[in-house]
Amino acid sequence: MRQPEMQIVTGGAGFIGSNLVRALIDRGCDDVVVVDDLSDGHKFVNIADLPIADYLDKDEFVRLLAANQAFAKGVTRILHQGACSSTTEWDGRFMMANNYSYSKTLLHYCLDQNIPFLYASSAAVYGSSQEFVEDPLFENPLNVYGYSKIQFDRYVRRVAADADNQVVGLRYFNVYGPREQHKGSMASVTFHFNQQILDAGEAHLFAGTDSYADGEQLRDFVYVDDVCDVILWFLDHPGVSGIFNVGTGSAQSFNEVAHAVIKWHGRGKIAYVPLPEHLLGVYQSYTQANLTLLRKTGCDVEFRAVEDGVKHYLDHIGQGQPHR
């Protein structure tokens, strides 16, 4: 019996991964297979409403690729969104095994089979840099998560520079949107501000750091649907490879995010709290994606500003659709 074709989304029960699965299914794809680790079973809600073709544990998936030729030949592309994304995780052995070694295994499979490999990198690779250009000159991670991502980008540049198949790394900036509730402290500030307004009517922002005034630290906040549109654009342009920033190209303050949440609720205020001790020296006070390389590919995805993205996000929550 012939193995059916499969589009693999690793991390497919996670935040960006589940939104990507939804976007593919909305396109009419009926061959989407989610690969993830559901040790945290709370993530099931992110895919419960999605008619996926199959679900596989991340370790089982690698075993099947290695041991089952019929299964492996059914894989048509791997959209690798799975990772430990905690910027406060300092278990380097775990981080490198999960984010680096696992990614290398999937990359080499795609190179061997000549199928597309699109993977999630991160703006964390830039760390303390004030320039956010896809160039080693500006890559200076501040934590082991950022290091795991930059090391894999370096590996891709070395072994896949002239690959025949499509290999795309996407450096996500501060992504926010539906299906992130399982992320806890790593959920977006939009998620946390919304919960804080609901719980106590007060959004908590960091006081001034690195010469920035209270709440005026700047990040490139990008809505998850726009991120998915970029991924879909690359799927439609299989001849384009490389490592690219994915952000709006505009930095906005945490105050602007909080005010957008407060405006949506029609109530609430802002309180400023000290930067936690564990973030001292490892906190990015400013990010802004340089989109020059992305735009040179012809990618014309429009990115919404915080005011529009926050409204879209909270409108769904307000309609009783917290995960969509």
Q: Could you read off the pLDDT of 221-234 as tens digits, one per residue?
A: 999 999 999 999 99
Q: Which of 87-96, 216-225, 315-324 has the lowest mean pLDDT?
A: 315-324
Residue 108 pLDDT exceeds 80: yes
Q: Are 32 and 23 in contact (CB under 8 A)?
A: no
Domain identity same for 104 and 16: yes
- In this structure, the number of other CB atoms found within 10 A of the CB of residue 304 comes to 16
CA distances from 135 to 223, 245, 293 (A): 24, 11, 11
Q: What are phi and psi of 50, to 5 degrees?
A: -110, 125
> 322 pLDDT band (50/70/90 cuts)?
very low
Mean pLDDT score, 113-118: 97
Domain identity same for 279 and 234: no
Residue 200 maps to which CATH number?
A: 3.90.25.10
Number of domains in the chain: 2
What SS3 class is residue 67? helix
Residue 159 maps to which CATH number?
A: 3.40.50.720
Residue 2 pLDDT exceeds 70: no
Domain identity same for 192 and 230: no
pLDDT of residue 103: 97
Domain identity same for 97 and 239: yes
pLDDT tens-digit series, residues 9-37 = 999 999 999 999 999 999 999 999 999 99
User: Would residue 210 count as lying in a domain?
Assistant: yes
Cβ neighbourhood burial of 208 (10 Å; 0-12, 13-18, 19+): middle
Task: Please confirm, yes or no, whether 55 is among the known catalytic residues.
Answer: no
Say which DSSP state 127 is in. T
User: Would residue 33 count as lying in a domain?
Assistant: yes
Say which DSSP state 286 is in. B
- Among 183, 263, 283, 286, the active-site one is 183
> 134 pLDDT band (50/70/90 cuts)?
very high
Residue 324 pLDDT exceeds 50: no
pLDDT of residue 323: 43
Residue 316 pLDDT exceeds 70: yes
Of 96-100, 132-136, 283-287, where does the model show the most confidence?
Answer: 132-136
129: left (phi over 0), alpha (psi -120 to 50) or beta: beta
* Residue that the structure tokens 């709440």 belong to: 215
Domain identity same for 139 and 71: yes
- Among 102, 119, 145, 313, the active-site one is 145
d(CA 27, CA 12): 16
User: Would residue 323 count as lying in a domain?
Assistant: no
* Residue that the structure tokens 């906190």 belong to: 283
Task: Please confirm, yes or no, whether 183 is among the known catalytic residues.
Answer: yes
Domain that holds residue 227: 6-175+223-248+290-303
Domain identity same for 118 and 203: no
User: Would residue 26 count as lying in a domain?
Assistant: yes
Model pTM?
A: 0.94
Q: Position 292: which residue type?
A: T
